[in-house]
Structure 1
Amino acid sequence: MTDIETQALDILHKRFEAGWAPVLARFGIAPNFGASVEAVRDALLRPLAAFDRADPLVSDLAADANAALCPNDPAKSVIYHVWAGSHSTPGLDRPPLRELDAVENYIYLLGQHESLPDEPLVPMVLAYAYRKRAATAHRLHADMVYSRVAVTRVGTRDARFDSERQTWESWGGDGFRVTRARLGLFLCRLVDGNAANVSILDRVDGDGQRSFALPVRKLFVGARLHNASMIQSIRFRGHFLGDKLKRVIDVSGAAVPGTLDTSRPPFVNEAQLDVPAGSQTSDTAIEMNTFDGACIVGPRPRAQLVSVATQDTQIARFVVPPREGPPSLLRGHGIDVGNLSINRHYTSLQVPSSKTRLAIEAVFAEFEHVLPSVLYPLPKVRPRAAPEFVNMRHRVEPDGRITVLGNTLPPGEYEAQLDAGGFEAAMFDDGTMDGAVWADIDGVPASAAFVLVTAPDFFPRADEEDLQAWSKTNPSRAAWHEFKEGGPTPLSAGRFVPNLLLKDLRRDAPLFTRADNTATAVVGRPLPQGSENPQPEVADFRRHAGGFLPDSASDEFAPGWDVSYDELDGTYYYTTHGLGSPFPEDVKFCASANAYWPAASPDAARTFERPNIPTAVPMLDDELGFHPESPDGTPDAKPGWDGEFGPFFETRDGVPGVNSADIRRSDYVYNATQNTFASRVFDLSSDELIRRIEALRACLDAIPKAGSTMPSETHYWVVGAKAVRDTDARAPRYTFELCVPDNAHARTVESRTVENAAAPGYWRVWRPVGNRIKAECRFDGPDGLVPRSVRYARFDDATDRYGEWQVRDVP
Structure 2
Amino acid sequence: MIDIETEALNVLRKWFAAGWAPVFARYGIEPDFNAPLEALRESLVEPLQLHAPLATLHRDDPLVRDLALDAHAALCPNDPAKSIVYHVWAGPHRTHGLARPSLRELDVLENYLYLLGRHEPLPDEPLAPIVLAYAYRERGATAHRLHADMVYSRVAITRVGTREARFIPEDQAWEAWAGDGFRVTRARLGVFLCRIVDGEAGNVSILDTADGDTRRSFALPVRKLFAGAQYPDMPPVHSIGFRGYFLGDKLKRVIDVSGASVPGTLDLTRAPFINEARIEVSAGASGRDDGIELDAFDGACVVGPRPRDRLVSIAMQEEQIARFTVPPRDGPPSLFRGHGIDEGNISFNRHYTSLQVPSSKARLLLETAFAQLEHVFPALLDPLPKTRPRAAPEYVNMRHRVEPDGRITVLGNTLPAGEYEAQLDAGGFEAAMFDDGVMDGAVWAVIDGVPTSAAFVLVTAPDFFPRADEEDLQAWGETNPQRAASHRFKEGGPTPLSAGRFVPNLLLNDPWSGEPLFAKTDDTVAALVSRPVPPEAREHVPPKVADLRRHAGGFLPDSASNEFAPGWDVSYDELDGTYYYTTHGLGSPYPEDVKFCASANAYWPAASPDAARTFERPGIPTAIPMLDDELGFHPDSLHGTPDAKPGWDGEFGPFFQALDGVAGVNSADVRRSDYVYNATQHTFASRVFDLSSEELIRRMEALNACLEAIPKAGSEMPSETDYWIVSATCGRSGDSRATHYTFELCVPDNGRAQTVVSRAVTSAAAPGHWRLWRPVSERVKAECRFDGPDGLVPRLVRYASFDETTGMYGEWQQRELR
> TM-score, with normalisation over the residues of structure 2?
0.98
- Aligned-partner Cα distance in 2 for 1:701–1:446: 55
8 Å contact from structure 1 (residues 462, 544) kept in 2:
no
- Aligned-partner Cα distance in 2 for 1:453–1:576: 8
- Aligned-partner Cα distance in 2 for 1:477–1:284: 44
- Aligned-partner Cα distance in 1 for 2:304–2:619: 39
2:570 alignment partner AA? V
Describe the SS at the equivalent of 1:189.
strand
Per-residue deviation, 1:534? 1.5
Residue 324 of structure 2 corresponds to which residue in structure 1?
318
- 2:555 aligned with 1:561: no
Residue 732 of structure 1 corresponds to which residue in structure 2?
739
8 Å contact from structure 1 (residues 67, 78) kept in 2:
yes
Deviation sequence 1:542-579 (CA, Å, 0-9, x none): 31313100000011410310000000011000000000
Deviation sequence 1:590-615 (CA, Å, 0-9, x none): 11000000000000001000000000
- Aligned-partner Cα distance in 2 for 1:54–1:95: 24
Residue 132 of structure 1 corresponds to which residue in structure 2?
138
Deviation sequence 1:137-166 (CA, Å, 0-9, x none): 111110000000000000000000001111
Residue 147 of structure 1 corresponds to which residue in structure 2?
153
Residue 172 of structure 2 corresponds to which residue in structure 1?
166
8 Å contact from structure 1 (residues 467, 686) kept in 2:
yes
8 Å contact from structure 1 (residues 260, 311) kept in 2:
yes
> What is the 5 A alignment of 1:539-554?
540-554=547-561
- Aligned-partner Cα distance in 2 for 1:590–1:730: 28
Residue 84 of structure 1 corresponds to which residue in structure 2?
90
Deviation sequence 1:664-721 (CA, Å, 0-9, x none): 0000000000000000000001111000000000000000100000000000000000
Per-residue deviation, 1:218? 0.3
5+ residue gaps, structure 1: none
8 Å contact from structure 1 (residues 778, 787) kept in 2:
yes
Deviation sequence 1:698-750 (CA, Å, 0-9, x none): 00000010000000000000000001113132111000000000000000000
Choose which of 622, 642, 654 in structure 1 pairs with 2:649.
642
- 2:752 aligned with 1:763: no
Residue 595 of structure 1 corresponds to which residue in structure 2?
602
- Aligned-partner Cα distance in 1 for 2:728–2:496: 28
- 2:625 aligned with 1:618: yes
> What is the 5 A alignment of 1:15-30?
15-30=15-30
1:749 alignment partner AA? V
- 2:91 aligned with 1:73: no
- 2:536 aligned with 1:534: no
1:242 alignment partner AA? G
> What is the 5 A alignment of 1:337-376?
337-376=343-382
Describe the SS at the equivalent of 1:362.
helix
> TM-score, with normalisation over the residues of structure 1?
0.99
8 Å contact from structure 2 (residues 261, 324) kept in 1:
yes
Moved more, 522-531 or 421-430: 522-531
May I ask how many residue pairs the two structures share in their alignment? Answer: 810
- 2:485 aligned with 1:475: no
- Aligned-partner Cα distance in 1 for 2:782–2:121: 65
Same amino acid, percent of matched pairs: 75
- Aligned-partner Cα distance in 2 for 1:700–1:44: 60
- Aligned-partner Cα distance in 1 for 2:454–2:233: 23
2:606 alignment partner AA? A
- Aligned-partner Cα distance in 1 for 2:321–2:508: 28
- 2:723 aligned with 1:716: yes
> What is the 5 A alignment of 1:375-454?
375-454=381-460
8 Å contact from structure 1 (residues 564, 577) kept in 2:
yes
RMSD: 0.9
8 Å contact from structure 2 (residues 276, 290) kept in 1:
no
1:436 alignment partner AA? A
Describe the SS at the equivalent of 1:732.
strand
Residue 32 of structure 2 corresponds to which residue in structure 1?
32
Residue 201 of structure 1 corresponds to which residue in structure 2?
207
Deviation sequence 1:60-97 (CA, Å, 0-9, x none): 10000010000000010000000001110122110011
8 Å contact from structure 1 (residues 245, 268) kept in 2:
yes
After superposition, the Cα gap between the structure-2 partners of 1:2 and 1:763, relative to the gap in structure 1 and judged at 3 Å, is closer
Describe the SS at the equivalent of 1:125.
strand
Per-residue deviation, 1:226? 5.6
Residue 53 of structure 2 corresponds to which residue in structure 1?
none
8 Å contact from structure 1 (residues 556, 565) kept in 2:
no
1:738 alignment partner AA? L
- Aligned-partner Cα distance in 1 for 2:657–2:381: 39
8 Å contact from structure 2 (residues 492, 563) kept in 1:
no
Per-residue deviation, 1:537? 4.4
2:460 alignment partner AA? T
8 Å contact from structure 1 (residues 542, 686) kept in 2:
no
- 2:688 aligned with 1:667: no
8 Å contact from structure 2 (residues 119, 232) kept in 1:
no
8 Å contact from structure 2 (residues 138, 148) kept in 1:
yes
1:198 alignment partner AA? V
- Aligned-partner Cα distance in 2 for 1:775–1:453: 42
- 2:758 aligned with 1:751: yes
5+ residue gaps, structure 2: 50-55
Residue 790 of structure 2 corresponds to which residue in structure 1?
783
- 2:508 aligned with 1:502: yes
Describe the SS at the equivalent of 1:660.
strand
Per-residue deviation, 1:522? 0.2
8 Å contact from structure 1 (residues 492, 550) kept in 2:
yes
- Aligned-partner Cα distance in 1 for 2:40–2:655: 69
- Aligned-partner Cα distance in 2 for 1:541–1:339: 40
- Aligned-partner Cα distance in 2 for 1:316–1:659: 36
Describe the SS at the equivalent of 1:440.
strand
Describe the SS at the equivalent of 1:509.
coil
- Aligned-partner Cα distance in 2 for 1:148–1:21: 37
Which 4+ stretches in 1 moved above 6 angstroms?
none
8 Å contact from structure 2 (residues 479, 545) kept in 1:
no
Residue 4 of structure 1 corresponds to which residue in structure 2?
4
Moved more, 405-414 or 559-568: 559-568
1:85 alignment partner AA? G
1:48 alignment partner AA? L
Per-residue deviation, 1:51? 2.5
8 Å contact from structure 1 (residues 556, 562) kept in 2:
no
- Aligned-partner Cα distance in 1 for 2:549–2:234: 45
